[in-house]
Amino acid sequence: MRFQVPQFIETEEKIIGPFTIKQFIFITIGGMLLFLIFFLVTPGWFVILAIPVIAITLSLALIKVAEMPLYLYLAHALSFAFNPKRYIYRPDQEEINHGPK
């Protein structure tokens, strides 16, 4: 009995058009925010507010930094910035476990 082995397990599947489900969710949330802004403000303010919303939405959905999505990169950067960094020298400790290799 033969089994089919998955080939590209590292890449996310394109669900809706050229977008993955995460990208589609980001774009949908940005679109809903634009829809809300459209009905809450005047047309002049809408254009002013829409430009940053579109830029942030598309950058979070589409840009990759160091082969990872921008939203994940920003999450790691914020985690590093706000978590405590205390390194203690212990001469009696022989081995440091860095996790699986």
Residue 8: the pLDDT is: 75
CA distance 89 to 7: 45
Residue 72: the pLDDT is: 94
pLDDT tens digit sequence for 35-94: 999 999 999 999 999 999 999 999 999 999 988 999 999 999 999 999 888 877 777 766
Length of the chain: 101
> Is the model's pLDDT at 100 over the cut of 70?
no
Concatenated DSSP letters of 27-62: HHHHHHHHHHHHHHS-HHHHHHHHHHHHHHHHHHHH
